[in-house]
Structure 1
């Protein structure tokens, strides 16, 4: 996704906002189309669900979750989901969608669902459950669940607060907080950003200054070299199991890399700073990706 941000007036102190847009690329980063949501703010989460062939997008600044069907028609999921600053999403095998409260900015919400920051819902049955989880706080202490990934057991959620020190875990079935996957020390330069899980339990994570591959035990297997020293905020495994996507928020770059070697296979320079926030890949005859 590429939010349309005024490049001449980027002010981190006042927050970043613009017209929300989803751009469709093929695997070689050739643009194939775009969707304008009709909202301003910042699209943060993007998820393609093959079971219902819908593309879901979240805009925490507008407390909205949008869904696009195969025809491109837009649907709002406000009828059964309560008002929250929804952020990134993960998909379970049964079609459940997991998302988190992105941050504590804006007016607090008080309703019958309580203060749970992790939400699991099913778009077909409209079942919704809230989970109270531990929060790192990340940069400024106001980030909640900035990014998350679901383990292959469909119950264990890995999640982080942006620029935090903890990669937390939570069991949605037993409703129990698990031990942290990793915790960075005060003197460690790495911070937690977008991540994803590999089939063997390894974790790919962006760390601001680059990206890291962790073993299933939390040991560093590989540091991926990058040419820019900051701004690397999303690492997402590709569907082929051999590559991953690494994006740079500050400079508007998106790379497809080889997991084993770190080689950059292809790169997209969007030319837009502070606009690229999420990516969802799907399979069709052209193996297209949406971002």
Structure 2
């Protein structure tokens, strides 16, 4: 009997040490979603103390846009369709900040096989996502960089192939940027690029993508627009750009190349960019501040 008690005490100490000192967040969650037990790392990730978490549930700290997907997976777990599930989701920390986490949930059952509680393991993805964002985005404008554009654009093209929908590749090179930069300095040049980036963000929809791929060169990929609709949008963008003013009434304009096509499985993104770039160069040679359609 003494040996059994010693073994049980040792097992309990090991559990406590593992649970409370784990490098990942761990929580025991009731069947109603309330927190029953949390470790220190879980508190660090969420920004809440243990007592505050115990008075709430995972629903209260989960981002509203992720809650439905989480609950749907939980329902499948409850029905016995899956042994566990993993997903990336967002928690809203006590300070209001958003933290991305990888969540893995499994179920513990009692001696009769009835559901007793959930075990949630949480890994903080903030640094991973930050590193990925920095590798795919331009730090000055906040737009995607060349790599980030290629990743997103290829996914859009693949989707357009499946849906048999058009995509429009826009290539923009600023007119007069070098003169602005030389006359007023790099600070004014940087502000110009930031403002152009802000303008492009205002013109792209959630399903589109914009990027800065060079010093004063930008590209956009637009989804589902006809030739006329794409041309109209780019023409409005051209006018808006020409109306931006920076220093002493000095502004810039843009030469645009536009290619609209219904992609196939053989469509090559690099070839599309070259064709739109060629049309942009035609706009430059034709007097700048205009849109030329790629042939």
TM category (shorter chain) comes to: under 0.3
Higher normalized strand content (fraction of residues): 1
Higher normalized helix content (fraction of residues): 2
- TM-score under structure 2 length normalisation: 0.22
- TM-score under structure 1 length normalisation: 0.22
Larger-gyration structure (1/2): 2
